[in-house]
Amino acid sequence: MADATELLNPTTPLAFLPPALANQFEQMRYLFAATLGAYVWDIGVNLGNDYALLFKHRVGFPTVVYFLSSKSIHIGLPSHMLRLLSCTG
């Protein structure tokens, strides 16, 4: 671990990690942010189709499984992203 007096800016997030590890962590956060953005885009594009599937067609087992898996991702992906962001915040 680096000494705080040797760092140029000790209040910078990830300043106390080795540069290679900090770089990998940043790349992982960017990947998760891009994944979250793509998922939000997917929700926006398919919102009308989901409404039609839920209210204009018969709800069967595959529909229930689809919505349960969709809602688990609604909760899991943003919470994981917030946990990654809070590691250095």
Question: Hey, where are the domains in the chain?
Answer: 33-86
| Whole-angstrom distance, CA of residue 69 vs CA of residue 15 | 38
Model pLDDT, residue 65: 94
Question: C-alpha distances in angstroms, 83 versus 13, 15, 28, 64?
Answer: 14, 19, 13, 29
Write the pLDDT tens digit of every residue in 29-44.
Answer: 888 888 888 888 988 9
**Cβ pair 22, 14 in contact under 8 A:** yes
DSSP 59-76: --HHHHHHHHHHHHHHHH
What Rg, from alpha-carbon coordinates, does the chain have? 20
Q: Report the alpha-carbon distance of residue 44 to residue 38 in Å, rounded.
A: 10
- The average pLDDT across 63-78 equals 85
What's the pTM value of the predicted model, to 2 decimals?
0.63
